[in-house]
Homo-oligomer: A and B are copies of this chain.
Amino acid sequence: MTQAVRHDSMRARNLEVVLGAVSRGGPLTRAALAEVTGLTKSTVSKLVGDLVDAGLLAETGPARAGERGRPGVAVVLSGARVASLGLEINVDYLAVRVLDLTGGVRFAARRERDNRGSRPKKVLSELQALATEALTETHRLGLEVAGAVLAVSGPVGDGVLFSAPNLGWQDVRAADLLRLPIPVELDNEANLAALGELWFGDGERDFFYVSGEIGIGAGLVVNGSLFSGARGLAGELGHVVVAPEGPPCRCGGSGCLETFAGQEAVLAAGNAPSVPALLAALERGDETALQACAAAGRALGVALTSAVNLLDLDRIVLGGIFTQLYPWLSGPVSEVLAARLGGLRGAPPVLSASRLGGDAATLGAAGRVVHRVLADPAPFLARAQEA
């Protein structure tokens, strides 16, 4: 290892240490940062200067023009330079969201449209138009987009969306179909929504986020980190077996949770043409709709029992259409969890509805880029210096 390489990697680590300390505990003065990080004051001053120049940190407090760098001045994360783009393809809409480094929303747009059975090229070209609009507005605000993440409803590995039943897609390299001037990464919607809950939700660091759509996915957060399994395919709650002799499932099995509690199963059982129609029927106390929801809730309770036993869950957050159906689902789900888990675990897990609703996935997608810059700012600084 050469001295230069060693110096660079130490500098990268120290940049991360300083930026992380401000991110978690800012505003902090340079002196406080030296105390917290164990670095010398002169090293801290140099690093803070570079981070301020790159637009990742900003000085705050009593600073005035010409006073920059005064030792008593505190620094905070800056929302003025770095931005990230979150994208989502849902069955009913396309969505984009731009976050700055402080997590502030700088742009958000959503186009309602039925993506069912649409060709990937067509959907991606509409998303590209929306993303381009977001990028134009972001540049106008003086922000620089560090990267983008695209959320899709289905298992993803190595940049490939293996299957998205709600869209009728199979083996689509969705991010590669976007022509954008920034790198775009593909990931599963339930995983990203779980990260959205982690970073922008109720502040819990251990929970299981369930995304109810036509498919039912889930994201497990343990001690503030997403668990996604060996190949990134964990959380396929929709194909947990509820009753082995149950209805046939599109996966080739039978009696999977999806055949009882997936959107199509619930609409069919509730005799409703759409989710809004089902909600209206539930509101007016329609017996068929109520029975459909109760049956879906009991099936969800059985599948979640298996998940709790395997994954050791104390907290379950219901998202997607389950958020809207929560008032009618939560009772049956809780009853099953209490009956099946009370003895083993003392208390069943706490159940709640996601408060982020449909925003969770784009928040998690954009948030992932923000967290990546915070965890390793050196590449961003290097690019900023080149530009």
Contacts and interface: CB of A to CB of B under 8 A. Distances in A.
Interface of A: 1, 6, 38, 155, 206, 218, 222-223, 227-245, 251-253, 302-303, 305-307, 309-314, 339-345
A180 B86 CA distance: 57
A340 B38 contact: no
B230 A342 contact: no
A340 B229 contact: no
A303 to B, nearest CB: 8
A223 B228 CA distance: 12
6 contacts: A155-B344, A222-B229, A222-B230, A240-B305, A240-B309, A307-B310
A282 to B, nearest CB: 24
B313 A230 contact: yes
Contacts of A38: 1, 6
Contacts of A243: 243-245
Contacts of A311: 229, 234, 310-311
Contact of A234 (B306, B312, B341, B343): B312
A227 B340 CA distance: 23
Contacts of A232: 312
Given A206-B230, A222-B230, A237 B307 contact: no
A370 B243 CA distance: 44
A302 B241 CA distance: 7
Given A222-B230, A241-B305, A253-B305, A310 B6 contact: no
Given A302-B241, A309-B239, A233 B345 contact: yes
Given A222-B229, A253-B339, A344 B310 contact: no
Given A253-B341, A306-B310, 12 more contacts: A222-B229, A230-B313, A231-B314, A233-B345, A236-B309, A237-B310, A240-B310, A241-B241, A243-B245, A251-B344, A253-B339, A311-B311
A348 to B, nearest CB: 11
A355 B233 CA distance: 28
A241 B239 contact: no
Contacts of A344: 155, 236, 239, 251-252
A306 B245 CA distance: 15
A311 to B, nearest CB: 6
A274 B356 CA distance: 54
* Chain B CB within 10 Å, residue with most, of A218, A244, A252, A309: A309
A362 to B, nearest CB: 24
